[in-house]
Structure 1
Amino acid sequence: MPWPLRWLLLAVMMGGSAALALWAFEFGKEITGLDGDARTELVALREEVSRMREEHERALSVANTADSLLKAAQTTQASLAARVKALEAENLALTRDLGFFEKLMPARDDGKPLAVRGLQATIDSPGRLRYQALLMQAVGRSGEVKGRYDLLVTGTHEGKSWTQTVSKPAQSIEMKQYQRLEGTIDLPAGVVVKQLEIKVLDAAGKLQASEVARM
């Protein structure tokens, strides 16, 4: 037989052997069920990965929402705390004003022509005392009143008794029914104020009314 035919016959035989071996391998996989189980497991794994990815995205969304809600709650809490603090300060101021105006009721006619109502004294800043009061004529009295008022501050300085009299041109009185008295007093360093006394004098220097505010 010529060599080309021999090589052709050999190639056909080798191809047939390879085809038979491949058929045997595929047939063996089908018999053992290996190929079907692998596909099923692969599908299951893909579904599990997809489910886990969805759960991850859902958990991430919930976490972002929770973080936003937490920040909003913290902002709201801070705003409410500031509002409560402002309301407390406003309530304190209103309480003080109420107490002050309650003292501004018309003075009774007890024989004195004038009365000092609602005297208040507070330390406005270190070394400065602020005061306010209302001077009123007694009920049933009228007419113009002129005069002045003096202030007497009493306290301690370096452990010793201390007093200071304040009489200024600005502390003049000229009214018909009432006049608001207010101002500040400069204090020496280290003074501890115990009380403030106001004395109202007429044009002749005669005492018409007085009041004391204790610190």
Structure 2
Amino acid sequence: MPNPAVTLRIKRFRQRFGIAAPRVSVRTHFAWYWYVLGAVILVLMVLLGAWWLAQRDEVVQMKGALARLQQSLGEAEAELSQLRALAGTEQSALRMERSTQQQLAARLKAMEEENAALREDVALFEKLVPATSAESALRIERLNVVSEAQPGHFRYRLLLAFQPSKQEREFRGRLQLTVTAQQAGKDISLHLPSAKDAAADFLVEARHFLRKEGRIVLPAGAKIKSIEAQVLQGGTVKAKQRVDY
């Protein structure tokens, strides 16, 4: 016959460890600082997400502002290009206007000089009236020398006035020039026409008055001191004039 005490122990054992025993859950135990660390990480992630969203909004705003600035810059550059083109056109027009004014001024000056020369020619021609006299006369009215752009090159000009007579209606002769210059402190002389010059360029044929001009070439650095022009007929000097500088 079973022992009642043993039977009671078996029954209690079955109730605790058998099928009818209460369920037991096994949980891992974590220390408290791990929970604190997790909370800190979670807070940091939330803050990082908020910062990223804020930065994203700021980047979007900056991109919008940059786009507006680029558009404004493009408009400003286009306007500047138009202003430069307009300024270039105005400057070109101004330069053309200045060039035209300079040309007109030069033309006016040349016309004034030509007009003055014509007045002198008219005055000279009036001296020749009456057209005939007992004896013919030849005069050198104007003689001058001007320098050219090339060093040592000069141009001479002179005006011959002839008053005919009944016996001599036209003058025929030749022109001779003597140029005195100074080079390196020494005087040098040049006689024209030289062997290189064409004799026909120095022939003189005048009925009333005649302009003659030609070129004088001197060594570089030479300065003209004087020039003397003589008009000869045969071996006789009919007129001469000297100009000192």
* CA-atom RMSD in angstroms: 3.5
1:126 maps to 2:168: no
Aligned pairs, number: 163
> Under a length normalisation based on structure 2, what TM-score does the superposition of the two structures give?
0.53
For residues 165-185 of structure 1, give each alpha carbon's deviation from its aligned partner in whole angstroms, at most 9, with x where no partner exists.
Answer: 223523122332233312112
For residues 57-99 of structure 1, give each alpha carbon's deviation from its aligned partner in whole angstroms, at most 9, with x where no partner exists.
Answer: 9988866654443232211111122222323332333343334
Which residue in the other structure is 2:241 paired with?
211
Higher strand fraction: Structure 1 or Structure 2?
Answer: 1
Unmatched segments (≥5 aa) in structure 2: 1-67, 129-134
Contact 1:151 1:198 in 2 (8 A): yes
Which residue in the other structure is 2:96 paired with?
79
For residues 155-197 of structure 1, give each alpha carbon's deviation from its aligned partner in whole angstroms, at most 9, with x where no partner exists.
Answer: 2111223332223523122332233312112212321113322
Which residue in the other structure is 1:9 paired with?
none
> Under a length normalisation based on structure 1, what TM-score does the superposition of the two structures give?
0.59
- 1:188 and 1:67, CA in 2 relative to 1: closer, same or farther beyond 3 A? closer
Which residue among 164, 168, 173 is the counterpart of 1:147?
Answer: 173
Residue 96 of structure 2 aligns to a residue whose secondary structure is helix
Contact 1:106 1:139 in 2 (8 A): no
Which residue in the other structure is 1:45 paired with?
none
Which residue in the other structure is 2:20 paired with?
none
Which letter does structure 2 place at the counterpart of 1:178? F
1:137 maps to 2:162: yes
Listed as ranges, the matches of 1:47-62 within 5 Å are none
Residue 125 of structure 2 aligns to a residue whose secondary structure is coil
- 1:117 and 1:131, CA in 2 relative to 1: closer, same or farther beyond 3 A? same
1:106 maps to 2:125: yes
Unmatched segments (≥5 aa) in structure 1: 1-51
Which residue in the other structure is 1:188 paired with?
219
Residue 190 of structure 1 aligns to a residue whose secondary structure is coil
Indicate the larger mover: 135-144 or 175-184. Answer: 135-144
Distance 1:194 1:92 in 2: 28
Contact 1:106 1:138 in 2 (8 A): no
Distance 2:126 2:163 in 1: 5
- 1:151 and 1:139, CA in 2 relative to 1: closer, same or farther beyond 3 A? same
- 1:70 and 1:128, CA in 2 relative to 1: closer, same or farther beyond 3 A? closer
Residue 75 of structure 1 aligns to a residue whose secondary structure is helix
For residues 81-129 of structure 1, give each alpha carbon's deviation from its aligned partner in whole angstroms, at most 9, with x where no partner exists.
Answer: 22223233323333433343333232736x8701223333212332222
Structure 1 or 2, whichever has the larger Rg, is 2
Contact 1:103 1:118 in 2 (8 A): no
Contact 2:136 2:164 in 1 (8 A): no
Residue 106 of structure 1 aligns to a residue whose secondary structure is helix
For residues 39-60 of structure 1, give each alpha carbon's deviation from its aligned partner in whole angstroms, at most 9, with x where no partner exists.
Answer: xxxxxxxxxxxxx9xxx69988
Which letter does structure 1 place at the counterpart of 2:127? R
